[in-house]
Amino acid sequence: MSDPTIDHSAFALKYGPWAVVLGASEGLGAAFARGLAERGLNLLLLARRADALEAVASPLRARVEVRTAALDLAAPDLAEVLAALTRDLDVGLCVYNAALSQVGPFLGVPLADKLKIVDVNCRGPLIAAHVFGERLVQRGRGGLLLMSSLTAFWGSPLVATYGASKAFNLSLGEALWYELGPRGVDVLVCCAGATRTPGFERSSGPDGPRAMEPDAVVAEALEALGGPPSAVPGGLNKVAAFVLGRLFPRRRAVALMGSQTARLTGRES
């Protein structure tokens, strides 16, 4: 819900007038669209499904200007397409939220599916960071926000390729935080835990484990932009990250990640 007592003018001045959200058709992407519209930024929303993008965009047009474009973020010409779609826009913020995941043993997932995950989850944010990073540096202000996951911190059995791709995003974003920060560009990697998105509910069912609401994750992410290079939203997630990362031996943390994923998806033996 919007809080009319909060002044978002400083946010809009630094990260506006336009924001690009890649992977905006549902879940966290749709929540980013709402959160950024609330802060007064015009939006370019990108994802594969034109009808889903329009459903997100339509209620926001009373507040800000919203454009949508359906595209495959694994397309070989992604850099050229992003440049063409934003040629006439003064983009101040890029949010790369899109991600593919397939649950199952590594050798049970077809190689083509694993490579598609790498294309969308690694190649996509790399291209977006390059295309918009150059423009943001030229204007001397703005932000890049990459969505990662708690799976980035440890090997994640049964979602091995997804977890590895999120580790890539974490490493990339933290490096760019150091490189681009002195040039006026804020970079944040948001390492979210379980979030009640349509994808999460499809994999875990309606009675799945406790999860954060997408709008709560987005609120914490946007608040953290301009601070440390990475952030873990949610109190329980912060505790889990601390315990697994600081108190457990690494092999135990990996085993726990595997058992939790197996329980979540009903793959326990």
Catalytic residues: 162
**SS3 state of residue 266:** coil
Task: State both tokens at 2.
Answer: 């919007």
Whole-angstrom Cα distance, residue 166 to residue 148? 5
**Inter-residue contact 181 to 222 (CB < 8 Å):** no
Q: Is 214 exposed, middle or buried (0-12, 13-18, 19+ CB in 10 A)?
A: buried
Please, how many CA atoms are within 13 Å of residue 98, restricted to the half-sphere of its CB? 31
Q: What is the DSSP string of 76-141?
A: TTHHHHHHHHTTT--EEEEEE-------S-GGGS-HHHHHHHHIIIIIHHHHHHHHHHHHHHHHT-
**SS3 state of residue 185:** strand
Q: How many CB atoms lie within 10 A of CB 249?
A: 8
Secondary structure (H, E, C), 212-255? ECHHHHHHHHHHHCCCCCEECCCHHHHHHHHHHHHHCCHHHHHH
